[in-house]
Amino acid sequence: MLGLSVLKCCCCQCVRCWRWLLAVHGYRRRLGTVGGKRVVASPRLVTANQSKAIIEQGTELPYQLSGPNGSTSIAFRKANLRLEVTPHITPDGSITMYLDVHKDSVGQNTPAGFAIDTKHVSTQVRVEDGGTVMIGGIYETSDNLNRAGLPGLHDTPWLGWLFGNRASRRSKQELLIFLSPKMLEQSAFAP
């Protein structure tokens, strides 16, 4: 399955504004077939110079907790996309940003409940007004081979293919994060 997620954000200090772009790109190939999926989000965020700003989008997933007396209760775990930025305008007009990006998603079910797959980048970057910089990339590939069939017969040389089944699955995912800051003039905020 081919997927693309894009997130645009804008943080500003009455006179100046920064904009960055987060692209999450992943694709999967299953048994020779390829499908496509594209998700685009474009939230905006406002903050002052040297002030931390956080934007978060996702879901909270319920799971059961066992109490000491055999009682159960419901708790929630977050699976979301979270961007945290603290911008600093330098005297030469460039922007230094302290960034913390989390991309969590629901993973496989386990006996203890579901797993949360996480991707995380924390860094400091300096970018010129209108410039673009890639701050990180995570590339994952996994190959799975499953064999099934009649016990004893599917392992027989030369005849095993008549009594067995093989399935292979390859998945690839890539997370790329780009920053493209742009300062806006005060007239952009006039009524």
16 assigned to some structural domain = yes
Per-residue pLDDT of 11-35, as tens digits, reads: 333 333 333 333 332 222 223 333 4
Tally Cβ neighbours within 10 Å of residue 50: 12
Q: Which residue has the higher pLDDT, 52 or 19?
A: 52
3-state class percentages of the chain: helix first, strand second, coil last, to nearest 5: 5, 65, 30
Q: Which residue has the higher pLDDT, 58 or 187?
A: 58
Q: Which residue has the higher pLDDT, 182 or 129?
A: 129
Provide the residue range defining the domain that includes 94: 2-186
- Nearest-angstrom CA–CA distance, 128 and 144: 44
- Nearest-angstrom CA–CA distance, 188 and 191: 9
User: Closest by alpha carbon to 182, among 21, 54, 5, 7?
Assistant: 21
Question: Which H or E run includes 71?
Answer: none
Per-residue pLDDT of 69-83, as tens digits, reads: 888 888 888 888 888
pLDDT at 169 over 90: no
pLDDT of residue 124: 93
- Nearest-angstrom CA–CA distance, 112 and 97: 39
pLDDT of residue 17: 32
- Nearest-angstrom CA–CA distance, 100 and 54: 9
The total number of structural domains in the chain stands at 1
User: Closest by alpha carbon to 120, among 158, 82, 170, 74?
Assistant: 82
pLDDT at 8 over 80: no
pLDDT at 97 over 80: yes
- Nearest-angstrom CA–CA distance, 5 and 39: 5
Q: What percent of the chain has pLDDT over 90?
A: 3
Average pLDDT, the chain: 70
pTM above 0.85, yes or no: no
**At 38, phi and psi to the nearest 5?**
-140, 130
191 assigned to some structural domain = no
3-class DSSP state of 162: helix
48 assigned to some structural domain = yes
pLDDT at 120 over 50: yes
Structure-block tokens of residue 187: 């007239």
